[in-house]
Amino acid sequence: MAAALNAGLRRALEDNEKVLLMGEDIGTLGGVFRITDGLLRDFGADRVIDTPLSESAIIGTAVGLAMRGYRTVCEMQFDGFVYPAFDQIVSQVAKLRKRSDGVFTMGLVIRLPFQGGIGAIEHHSESPEAYFAHTPGLRVVSCATPHDAYWMIQQAVACDDPIIFCEPKSRYWEKGAVDLEHAGIGLFDARVVRDGRDVTVVGFGSYVKTLLRAADAAALEGRSLEVIDLRSVSPLDMDTLVSSVRKTGRLLVVQEAPHTASIGATLVAELTRHCFYDLRAPGLIVSGYHVPYPISRHEEVYRPSVERILDGVDRLYEYDA
């Protein structure tokens, strides 16, 4: 996935001379996760810009560049480092296009390595996607495979609205095929990655692979899970989700963030409204707990596991009695 993101950024830089990259240590070092490795050498320091240690300054500068027609891809080194830029993002990035009545577009991508699973210290394993999905004017997406990483980053750069681009850092080293000719799907479309008949399970980012493992385990017990990669957290692809839930009659949403006021809570509420007479059980959420992200030796207790997902599936069947 890291190589696919690098290749996608390279292609975006090649296709449009107004595409710039900005972030801490993205140039000479190539980024903490080496996503931008080699790009400074090939495109120069005026397009791959090592910035000072100031997230607010990075985003504020990118806002000005966007107003002049540049398309800037800003890297937040880790998820928990985005908060110093929160005021800029929700007060300026999200609102300038509407405030100017479309005079200014905001072609700005904020790359956000998110979720845990790497044994990191505090502020390095958070899931802040709900903050941004709650903010009108922002679009929030997450890739789960190398193919999607390659294409989604290019689609995000081409979008005239600002994108929060969530990258599951624990999957940077996952391998997978990439079709370099065809994306196959739009930036804001969900994807059914495994057909099933009994339960719709929805996730995004690092949890798509976990859901597929859970589906394999459930199949041994005779239960067929339909796995959906949400891909776009905001806006939601309700057509794909509604179609699946109406088929299966059961819904389970899996996320690493706590469940309170979360993406999972929104999905359960919206799909209950759309599919009330099709559901055979209330929708459920399997999530992180409502506590700050724990120290590394406890993170696998906190993060949703295959066992916790299967327990959620079991609870959906309790309503059949």
Residue with tokens 């495979």: 145
Q: What is the mean pLDDT of the chain?
A: 97
Same-domain pairing of 163 and 93: yes
For the segment 251-275, the average pLDDT, to the nearest whole number, is 97
Note the pTM of the prediction, 2 decimals. 0.96
Reply yes or no on whether 124 is catalytic: yes
Same-domain pairing of 80 and 161: yes
Same-domain pairing of 109 and 223: no
Same-domain pairing of 240 and 139: no
Same-domain pairing of 146 and 223: no
- Phi–psi pair at 288, nearest 5 degrees: -65, 165
Q: Which of 117, 143, 171 is the last residue of a domain?
A: 171
For the segment 46-59, the average pLDDT, to the nearest whole number, is 97
Q: Which of 109, 142, 171 is the last residue of a domain?
A: 171
Q: Does residue 179 lie within any of the structural domains?
A: no
What is the count of structural domains for the chain?
Answer: 2
The domain of 136 spans 2-171
Q: Is the per-residue pLDDT at 97 higher than 70?
A: yes
Q: Does residue 57 lie within any of the structural domains?
A: yes
Give the neighbor-by-neighbor strand order of the sheet with 225-229. Answer: 191-194, 225-229, 199-203, 251-258, 284-288
Same-domain pairing of 66 and 148: yes
| The two structure tokens encoding residue 229 | 């990669």
Q: Which of 123, 124, 274, 290 is catalytic?
A: 124
List, for residues 191-244, the tens digit of each pLDDT value.
Answer: 999 999 999 999 999 999 999 999 999 999 999 999 999 999 999 999 999 999
If phi over 0 gives left and psi between -120 and 50 gives alpha, with beta otherwise, what is residue 248?
alpha
Determine the Cα–Cα distance for residues 230 and 149; give it in Å rounded to an integer: 14
Same-domain pairing of 102 and 38: yes
Q: Does residue 176 lie within any of the structural domains?
A: no
Q: Does residue 183 lie within any of the structural domains?
A: no
Same-domain pairing of 266 and 121: no
